[in-house]
Amino acid sequence: MADTILEIRHLSKSFGSHEVLKDIDFTVSKGDVTAIIGASGSGKSTLLRCVNLLETPTSGEILFHGKDVTGRGVNAPEYRSHVGMVFQSFNLFNNMTVLENCIVGQVKVLKRSKAEARETALRYLQYVGMAPFINARPRQISGGQKQRVAIARALAMGPEVLLFDEPTSALDPEMVGEVLAVMQHLAGEGMTMLVVTHEMAFARDVSTQVVYMNQGVICEQGPPADVLENPQRQETRDFLARFRKN
């Protein structure tokens, strides 16, 4: 198990008396692409936000390379710089250009030189096909382009794991493909990813592991062929059936 990156153990999260996550357990190894699926409100975003410490878990452990990151003495910003996150609403910095968005974290957090940061940023912007737009501001580019910049911004930090929270849900249908294509290419290169998604084709073809969440618990998990094509639990079957109809 030398290449285990993340271990989630007995993770629970409550907002007041509302228990949103209950005893979540799963493991992410290097190169895994974990697709998290489930109905809206089942706690998928909260799970991802706990993994990134944007929410503080109520109980349980998150082990990053074997070290618990939920304790009091943990340097959360430092940990987050190893765990990239891509949001449904992009969250690009509106006061910066595309290029500056990809540079600022490297310079301020990783203390890279301006020149080095610029080079790295350009490399990843090129990778997602956004290099020609380095001087544009977020308000001037389309949703699909914003999301590709957001991916480049996360990649420029050199993360070990990338978290995606419904990266294509806010996009017009014709832009979904360009973002999924980038993600698929990343997966092909061995990037470790945790992807909350409603794109079943992506889950089936790209992921190595599917986690189905229902009302705050992991109902079923396993290889996509098992969970998506041959689900064991009734809830999973119902969810997938509802999904196919839509």
Partner 1 sequence: MNLFSKLVNDVSRLWANYASAYLGGMWSTLKLAVVATVIGVLIGLVCGILNTIPCGKNDSLPRRVLLGLIRFVVRAYVEIFRGTPMVLQAVFIYYGLPYFSNNTLRFDDIWAAAILIVSINTGAYMAESVRGGIISVDPGQTEGAKAIGMTHVQTMVNVILPQAFRNIIPQIGNNFIINIKDTSVMFIIGFTEFFAFHRYITGVNNMYFPSATIEMIGYLTMTLVASFLLRWLEKRLDGSDNYELVSDDQLVMAAGTYSYPDRGSPFDERHKPSREAVIQEVKFGRNRGER
Tokens 């009091």 map to which residue?
A: 72
Q: Which residues inside 2-31 make contact with ligand ADP, applying CB under 6 A?
A: 15, 18, 20
Residue 196: strand, helix, or coil: strand
- Asked if 9 interacts with partner 1 (CB under 8 A), we say no
Q: Which of 9, 12, 31, 133 binds partner 1 (CB under 8 A)?
A: 133
Q: Kindly state whether residue 178 participates in binding partner 1, applying the rule CB under 8 A.
A: yes
118 lies in the binding site for ligand ADP (CB under 6 A): no
Name residue, tokens 């979904």.
Answer: 176
**How many beta carbons lie within 10 A of that of residue 191, not counting itself?**
19
Give the separation between CA 147 and CA 164, rounded to whole angstroms.
11
Alpha carbon distances (Å) from 114 to 70, 98, 121, 219: 32, 15, 10, 47
* Ranges of H-type helices in 3-156: 44-51, 76-80, 98-108, 114-127, 143-156
Dist. CA 222–CA 208, nearest whole Å: 8
- Is residue 46 a contact point for ligand ADP (CB under 6 A)? yes
Q: Does 45 bind Mg ion (CB under 5 A)?
A: yes
Selected binder of partner 1 within 105, 216, 224, 231 (CB under 8 A): 105
Binding range to ligand ADP, per CB under 6 A, among 40-48, 144-152, 167-175, 218-226: 40-48
- Give the binding site for Mg ion (CB under 5 A): 45
- Give the binding site for partner 1 (CB under 8 A): 52, 54, 56, 77-81, 84-85, 87, 89-95, 97, 104-105, 108-110, 115, 118-119, 122-123, 126-129, 131-137, 140, 148, 150, 153-154, 157, 176-178, 180-182, 184-185, 199-202, 204-206, 244
